[in-house]
Structure 1
Amino acid sequence: MGEKRTFTISVYSENNVGLLNRISGIFLKRHISIESLNVSESEIDHVFRFVIVVHTTEDWVKRIVGQIEKQIDVIKAFYHTDEETIFEEVALFKIDSSLLFDERQIQNIIKESHSEIVTVARDFFVISKAGRRNEIEALYEQLRPFGIMQFVRSGRISVSKASMDISTMLAEFQH
């Protein structure tokens, strides 16, 4: 069996109820954890894109993609290695407002981490950081001593470096 690596699976589908359950069931049956999941509209009208990140072997990811493609609502599924994609995640950090003015270090952390303040209210402010997971985790560790009121991180979003020609495939599929 090959070595385990991180793969990003892209699934193009119609937006039908129950598909997410069926896709997650494919991973569940094989005891493969989904590290992150994002679902959004794609570049094609009425077609949605699931971006699923898993850590497994190429053998298993090929089998999984094959199983996903057998699902009725799935148009096409692809998998890529990290080297074949451009990807990032987004995180929001909610912090006590007093720190913004009392702790000069917070302002330096925000600047040095290339994050941004998205809102400031009387009791809190919110920092947004887009980047690789390790960059977000590093910012989390820097902010943690000051107290993080709330934290949330998105699933990975990605585009492949190579053309996937999904639009061409769909045009042929619709004729």
Structure 2
Amino acid sequence: MNETNLYTVSIYTENNIGLLNRISAIFQRRHINIESINSSVSEIENVSKWTIVVKLSEERMKKVIGQIEKQVEVIKAYYHTEEETIYQESCLFKIKSHLLFDEPQIQNIIKESNARIVTVNRDFFVIEKSGRKEELELLHRELSVFGIMQFTRSGRIAVTKDEMKISKMLEAFQH
């Protein structure tokens, strides 16, 4: 059987309604679980960039990219290995305020993890942390002991280590 790897897929698209359903259907039909998905503006005006993380063989990845690129609104799709990308995720933790003062260990955890407090009020405080998935999971485990009121994590955001030829291609698309 082919070896499966974690791939970061970058999809440059026109921003059209219904495209997300069609893209996710490509993965669904092949029984591929999407680990994370993020949508944002790209470096080119009026072009969206989707970052999707999936685990599968390279052979299957190539087929999926081919299917994605058949979508009319898709300008270009790429896939990259972990080694070829620089990536981050972000998360927010909401925790009861009294713990910040009653449990000095929490302040140490925040400091050691390079997290930051984004808001504090009478009832709760919110911590933000950006980093690799493993770093976020470690902080989650450490804070779970004290009780987490709410937690959310973003999808991966990523850039490639190598120059992307898409920028030149998109400049032409823009005119």
TM-score by length of structure 1 reads 0.98
Letter paired with 1:30: R
CA distance in 1, matches of 2:167, 2:108: 44
Letter paired with 2:145: P
Equivalent residue number for residue 13 of structure 2: 13
Equivalent residue number for residue 129 of structure 2: 129
Which runs of structure 2 are paired with 1:52-91 in the superposition (5 Å)? 52-91=52-91
Percent of aligned positions that are identical: 62
Letter paired with 1:91: C
Which sections of structure 1, spanning at least 5 residues, go unmatched?
none
Equivalent residue number for residue 159 of structure 1: 159
Equivalent residue number for residue 100 of structure 1: 100
SS of equivalent to 2:71: coil
CA distance in 1, matches of 2:38, 2:148: 24
Cα-to-partner distance string for 1:42-69 (whole Å, 9 max, x where unaligned): 1100000000000000011111111000
SS of equivalent to 1:67: helix
| Distance apart, 1:174 and its partner CA | 4.8
TM-score by length of structure 2 reads 0.98
Q: CA RMSD in A?
A: 0.9
| Distance apart, 1:121 and its partner CA | 1.0
How many pairs are equivalent? 175
Are residues 1:22 and 2:17 paired? no
SS of equivalent to 1:87: strand
CA distance in 2, matches of 1:25, 1:80: 21
CA distance in 2, matches of 1:72, 1:165: 20
Letter paired with 2:95: I
CA distance in 1, matches of 2:76, 2:134: 30
| Distance apart, 1:164 and its partner CA | 1.1
SS of equivalent to 1:94: strand
Q: Is the 8 A contact 2:44 2:171 kept in 1?
A: no
Cα-to-partner distance string for 1:57-90 (whole Å, 9 max, x where unaligned): 0011111111000001000000000000000100
